[in-house]
Amino acid sequence: MGTLTPEQRLAEQGVTLATPRRPYSLAARLLFATLDAVYGKDRTMSKLKVLELVARVPYQAWEQVSYIAITHTQGRTELARRIHDRVVEARAQQDNEQWHLLILNELVDQRGIPEDRLHFTVLPQVLAFIYYQLSWVLFIIRPAWSYRLNASFEDHAEHEYMELVKENPEWENEPFETSFAHDYGTYASLADLFRQIGYDERVHKEESVTRMAEPRFS
Ligand SMILES: [Fe+2]
Ligand SMILES: [Fe+2]
What confidence score (pLDDT) does residue 217 get?
63
Share above pLDDT 70 across residues of the chain, in percent, rounded to a whole number: 98
For ligand 2, the distance from its centroid to the CA atom of residue 154, given in whole angstroms, is 5
Q: Which ligand is nearest to the CA of 184?
A: 1
With bands split at pLDDT 50, 70 and 90, how would you rate the model's confidence at 218? low
**What's the CATH fold of domain 6-13+28-212?**
Ferritin (1.20.1260)
Query: Which amino acid, residue 88?
Result: V
Q: What is the pLDDT of residues 12-49, one digit of tens each?
A: 999 999 999 999 999 999 999 999 999 999 999 999 99
57 contacts 131 by C-beta, under 8 angstroms: yes
| pLDDT band, very low/low/confident/very high, at 79 (cuts 50, 70, 90) | confident
Q: What letters, b where the CB count within 10 A reaches 16 and e where it falls short, cover 185-207?
A: eebbbbbbbbbbbbbbbbebbeb
Task: Supply the mean pLDDT for the chain.
Answer: 93
Q: What is the CA radius of gyration of the chain?
A: 18
Local structure of residue 213 (DSSP, 8 states): T
CA of 134 to the centre of ligand 1 (A): 19
Domain boundaries, the chain: 6-13+28-212
Q: What angle do CA 74, 80, 84 make, to 5 degrees?
A: 145
Q: Which of 137, 160, 165, 147 is nearest to 205 (CA)?
A: 147
How much is the pLDDT for 88? 87
Confidence label for 177 from pLDDT (cuts 50, 70 and 90): very high
The pLDDT of residue 119:
96
Residue 62 CA, ligand 1 centroid: distance in Å: 17
Q: Which residues have their alpha-adjacent CB atom under 5 A from ion ligand 1?
A: 52, 55, 97, 100
User: Mind listing the pLDDT tens digit for each residue in 108-159?
Assistant: 999 999 999 999 999 999 999 999 999 999 999 999 999 999 999 999 999 9
pLDDT given for residue 182 in this prediction: 94
Given this model, what pLDDT does residue 100 score? 97
State if pTM tops 0.75: yes
Q: What pLDDT is stored for residue 1 in this prediction? A: 60
Phi, psi (rounded to 5 degrees) for 86 = -65, -40
Give the number of whichever ligand sits closest to the CA of residue 203: 2
Shortest-distance ligand to the CA of residue 156: 2
pLDDT at position 53:
95
Q: How far is the CA of 72 from the centre of ligand 1 (A)?
A: 32
pLDDT digits (tens, 9 = 90+) for 80-92: 888 888 888 888 8
Ligand lying nearest the CA atom of residue 97: 1
pLDDT in tens, 45-65: 999 999 999 999 999 999 988
Question: What is the average per-residue pLDDT within 181-191?
Answer: 95
- How much distance in Å is there from the Cα of 199 to the middle of ligand 1? 9
Please tell me the distance between residue 204's alpha carbon and the centre of ligand 2 in angstroms.
Answer: 5
Say what the pLDDT of residue 118 is: 96
Torsion on CA atoms 190, 192, 194, 200, rounded to nearest 10: -150
Distance 150 CA to ligand 2 centre (A): 9
What is the Cα 111 distance to its own chain's centre?
A: 23
